[in-house]
Structure 1
Amino acid sequence: MFASLSTSVLFALGGLAGLVILVSGYRMTGLSDQIADRTGLGEALVGAALLGAATSMSGTVVSLTSALDGRASLAFSNGIGGIAAQTAFLAVADMIYRRANLEHAAADLANVFQAGLLLLLLTVPLMAFTAPEIAVWGIHPASIALFIIYVLGMRATARLREEPMWHPVTTPDTRADRPEDDREAEKSAYSLVLPFLALLVLMALAGWSVARIAAEISDRLELSDTVVGATMTAVLTSLPELVTTLVAVRRGALQLAVGGIIGGNTFDTLFLTLSDIGYRDGSLYHAITADDLFWLTVAMLMTAILSLGLIYRERRGIGWESTGLLVVYIGALGLQVM
C-alpha cells in the first residue's frame, strides 16, 4: 500500500497520522479527568489505568504490527523508546508548571507505587535477554510474567487508593485531587465512555499507519529498525502522552498528568508481551540487538530518577530529577544517532 508512494508523501502521511494521534490524545485528557470525577476512582488511578492505556493504543498497534512483520527490533525499541520519551515529557511539564516542583505538587501514593512497578516490569525483558532462550509456542515465559505482574500491580494500586498505608506530607504547594464543580459534572460516566472508545479506535488506525510507514522508511533509507523505532515511531506515538500531560497540568489535574505518564509507561511494557506473541520466529527477547538493550537501560535509569524525585519531593523550581531526565534522554539520543 505504501511502497508505491514517494518518500516525501510517506513523511507527510506520517505527520498526518501523528496529528490524528495528537488531537485524539488532547480530547482524551478532558474525558479521563471527568471519568475520574464521576467514578470516584481518582486522577492517579484513572491516569495510570485508563488514560495511560488509551494513549498507548497507537504505540501498541505499531509494536504488534512490526512484530507480525518479523521486525523484532522495531517492535521492541518502539515500546521501550516510548517509555524513555514519555518520561522526558514529565520534565517538560515540570518546566511549564511554575508554581512549584511538579513531583512535589502532584504527590500521590499511587504514582509512587506505579513507578516502582514500572522498574520491576523493565527488569523482566532484561532477564529474558540474558537468560537462555526458551519459547513455548513461540512465546517466552517472560511475556506471560509481564502480563501477570501488570495485572497484580494494577490491583494493588487500586487497593492503595482505598486503603493507603501512608500519606504524603501536605504543603501549601500540594494540589489535592478534587472533582470539578461545573456543568460537566452532570454527565454520567457512561455518557463519557462512547466518545472515549471512538477516539481509541481512531488512534489504533493511526498507529497501524505509522507502523507501515516506519517500516517502509527504514527500508528505503537503509536505517536500522532500532533508530526508527526508538526515535521516530516512539516519539510520534508518544505525542498523546505529551499533550495529555501538558493539558492536565493546565487544568490543574496534576495527579492525572503524572499518573498518565507513569501509567502509560507501565502499560507500554505489555507491548513486549503482544510483540512476542506476534513475532513467530522464536523469542522476541533473543531477536533484539545490543542497541535495543541500550534503550531498555535508558528507560530503567530514567524511571529510577523519576522514582527518587517522587519520593524526595523537591519543593521549588524545576527539580533536579527533571534536569536529570532531560540530560539522560538527550544524551541517549545523541549516542544513538552517532
Structure 2
Amino acid sequence: MNFVLLIFGFAILVKGADFFVEGSSSIAKRFNIPSMVIGLTLVAFGTSAPELAVSVSGSLKGSNGIVFGNVVGSNIVNVLLILGISALISPINIRLKTIFKEVPFVILTTVAMMVMAMDSLLDGSDGSVILRTEGFLLLLFFAIYLYSMIEISILGKEEYPEDDIKLLGVGKSVLFTLGGLGAVIFGADLAVKHAISIAESLGLSETLIGLTVVAVGTSLPELITSVVASRKGENDIAVGNIIGSNIFNALFVLGISSAIAPVTIARENFVDIWILLASAVLLIPLMYTGKRLSRAEGGIMVLGYVVYTAFLVFRTVS
C-alpha cells in the first residue's frame, strides 16, 4: 500500500506542478511580463517544484536522508538518465555556448555544494552539516544567477520564438495557480511520508530511497519535458531543461531546505557527491565530440546510471 500511495503522491506532484505553471504563467502574461522571464522563473520553478516540495517537507520532518538524497539523486538522474534517454530517442545537437558556458556553471554550483557538504573532511569527523548560514548563502548565489539570466534575456540580442503560453480567464488562472500549488504541497507530503515508511519496512536508509525512488519520481517533469523536446528536435530545450533544473536544485532547493533546518550528511554519502561532479564533468567531452550527444553516448550515460544504482544497492546490503 505504501508503494501505491507513493506513486499517487508523485502523480499529484507532477500534475500539480503542471497546473501551477499554466495558471501562474497566464497571470504573468496578463501583466505583460516577458515570456523569457516567465520561462526562467515560473516554468523553471514548476519543473523543479517536486524536488523543492519533497526536500522542504523532508527538512520539516527532520528526514535529512530524503533531503540530501533527493537533491543529489535528482541531479544525477537528470544528467545520466534523462539526458541519456533523450539522446537515445534522438541525437542532440549541442551549441558551443552550452559546452563552454552553461555546463561549466553546473560544475561550479556542484563544487560550491560539495565544499559546504564535505567540510568535515577538514576535521576528520564522521559526517558533515550544511548549516542555515550556508543555506542562505546558496540562496544568495541563486538570486544572483537568476538576476543575471533575466538581465541577459531582456537586454541580450538573442532572438526567442513566440511563446505558446495560454491566456486563461482570471478566475481559472487563480484556481490553477492556487490549486496546483496546493497539490504540489499535498503530493510532496504524501510522497515523503510513504517513502520513509518504505525505507523503514525494508530496512533501507532514507538516503537510498531519496537517491533512487524519490529522485526519479520528482524528476518526472524534467524527463517528460526533455524527451518530448528531443523528439521534436528542440535541442536547446532538452539540454537547457536539465542544466536549469540542476542549478535550481543545487542552489535553491538545497538552500531553502538547509535554511529551514541544518542538513546532516553521512560520510559514506560523500561518494554520491563525487559521482554527481564526475557526471557533470563527463558532459563536456561527450558534448564536444561531434558537437552532439549521439545515441551511443546516450546509451553510455544510461548504463552509467544503472551501474550507479547497482552500486547504491550493494553499498546498502553489504
Of residues 127, 138, 149, the one that matches 2:115 is 127
Partner of 2:191 in structure 1?
Answer: 210
Of residues 65, 78, 94, the one that matches 2:87 is 94
Aligned length: 300
Asked if the contact 1:66–1:72 (Cα under 8 Å) also holds between the matched residues in 2, the reply is yes
Shift of 1:84: 0.8
Of residues 215, 232, 248, the one that matches 1:267 is 248
User: Partner of 1:288: helix, strand, or coil?
Assistant: strand
Matched, 1:62 2:47: no
Shift of 1:77: 1.0
Q: Name the CA distance, whole Å, in 1 between partners of 2:214 and 2:247.
A: 18
Matched, 1:187 2:135: no
Partner of 1:234 in structure 2?
Answer: 215
1:311 to 1:198, Cα distance in 2 relative to 1, 3 A: farther
Asked if the contact 2:131–2:259 (Cα under 8 Å) also holds between the matched residues in 1, the reply is yes
Partner of 1:178 in structure 2?
Answer: 161
Deviations 1:234-262 (A, max 9, x none): 11111111112223334554423322222
Asked if the contact 1:86–1:261 (Cα under 8 Å) also holds between the matched residues in 2, the reply is yes
1:110 to 1:215, Cα distance in 2 relative to 1, 3 A: same
Deviations 1:251-297 (A, max 9, x none): 55442332222211211112222222333xxx42xx21134322222
Partner of 1:277 in structure 2?
Answer: 259
Asked if the contact 2:286–2:293 (Cα under 8 Å) also holds between the matched residues in 1, the reply is no
Q: Name the CA distance, whole Å, in 2 between partners of 1:262 and 1:47.
A: 14
User: Partner of 2:265: helix, strand, or coil?
Assistant: coil
1:70 to 1:30, Cα distance in 2 relative to 1, 3 A: closer
Deviations 1:81-124 (A, max 9, x none): 01111222012112222xxx3142xx384796443332222222
1:29 to 1:140, Cα distance in 2 relative to 1, 3 A: closer
Shift of 1:185: 7.1
Give TM-score scaled by structure 1 length. Answer: 0.74
Shift of 1:40: 4.8
Asked if the contact 1:47–1:263 (Cα under 8 Å) also holds between the matched residues in 2, the reply is no
User: Partner of 2:148: helix, strand, or coil?
Assistant: helix
Q: Name the CA distance, whole Å, in 2 between partners of 1:103 and 1:148.
A: 33
Matched, 1:249 2:230: yes
Partner of 2:126 in structure 1?
Answer: none
1:110 to 1:54, Cα distance in 2 relative to 1, 3 A: farther
Structure 1, unaligned stretches of length 5 or more?
A: 1-8, 168-175
Asked if the contact 1:47–1:257 (Cα under 8 Å) also holds between the matched residues in 2, the reply is no
Shift of 1:50: 2.9
Q: Name the CA distance, whole Å, in 1 between partners of 2:172 and 2:143.
A: 24
Partner of 2:313 in structure 1?
Answer: 337
Partner of 1:292 in structure 2?
Answer: 269
1:62 to 1:23, Cα distance in 2 relative to 1, 3 A: closer
Asked if the contact 1:63–1:74 (Cα under 8 Å) also holds between the matched residues in 2, the reply is yes
Shift of 1:215: 1.1
User: Partner of 1:121: helix, strand, or coil?
Assistant: helix
- The 5-angstrom pairing of residues 151-170 of structure 1 reads 151-162=143-154
Structure 2, unaligned stretches of length 5 or more?
A: 124-129
Question: Which amino acid counterpart does residue 249 of structure 1 have in structure 2?
Answer: S
Asked if the contact 1:26–1:243 (Cα under 8 Å) also holds between the matched residues in 2, the reply is no
Give TM-score scaled by structure 2 length. Answer: 0.78
Shift of 1:57: 1.5
Matched, 1:79 2:103: no
1:291 to 1:234, Cα distance in 2 relative to 1, 3 A: farther
**Which structure features the higher share of helix residues?**
2
- The 5-angstrom pairing of residues 304-319 of structure 1 reads 304-310=281-287, 314-315=291-292, 317-318=294-295
Q: Name the CA distance, whole Å, in 1 between partners of 2:60 and 2:197.
A: 15
Of residues 296, 304, 308, the one that matches 1:328 is 304
Asked if the contact 2:136–2:259 (Cα under 8 Å) also holds between the matched residues in 1, the reply is no
- The 5-angstrom pairing of residues 109-124 of structure 1 reads 109=97, 113-124=101-112
- Identity, % of aligned pairs? 19
